[in-house]
Amino acid sequence: MQRPDPISPDFRPERRIALCLLIIEKVRAGKASWKTVHVLNWALESSNRLAMLANIRTRSELLDEPIVRFEPALDFALDLAVGLGFIRRSGTGLFVLAEKGKAALTEIYRAGVLEEEINALTTVTGKISNRDVERLLEWRAQ
């Protein structure tokens, strides 16, 4: 009998949910669009992408490569986080941290997990707006 392949830690729902909470917290007003969550998740995969994200407001040094990979595993984690009560959808469809999600974030910071991702997000000064992400996704059309 063949044993199943292990799931990479990057795709485990528990890790993805925690990452979603960190991403939503980084977005201005704590309200992230679906696209914003995917773009920030994508940006966290490389230092070049993080640098591009840091330059998003000035529109300088944007990478000339395919912009974003939308991952089904992240969609699964978002759905699961909503179902577990960590995040909720606002009336406009944006993702917002619920009280349970805020408590989980406190635990994430206290436990010292996802330090690499937390440090990466702090390299981008201030909060990221959904409008900034839309500009990033549309910059080639201009």
Task: Give the model confidence (pLDDT) of 32-60 as tens digits.
Answer: 999 999 999 998 988 888 887 777 766 66
Decide if 95 is inside a domain: yes
Q: What is the pLDDT of residue 29?
A: 93
In the chain, the number of structural domains is 1
Instruction: Report in angstroms the alpha-carbon separations of 67 from 5, 49, 121, 141.
Output: 30, 9, 18, 12
Decide if 64 is inside a domain: yes
Q: What is the pLDDT of residue 46?
A: 87
Domain that holds residue 120: 9-141
What predicted TM-score, i.e. pTM, was given to this entire model?
A: 0.87
Decide if 124 is inside a domain: yes
Residue 100, helix vs strand vs coil:
helix
Mean of pLDDT over the chain: 87
Indicate if the pLDDT at residue 11 is higher than 90: no
Q: What is the pLDDT of residue 23?
A: 97
Instruction: Report in angstroms the alpha-carbon separations of 87 from 26, 66, 75, 131.
Output: 14, 29, 13, 21
Instruction: Give the Cα separation of 80 and 86 in Å (integer).
Output: 9
Decide if 16 is inside a domain: yes
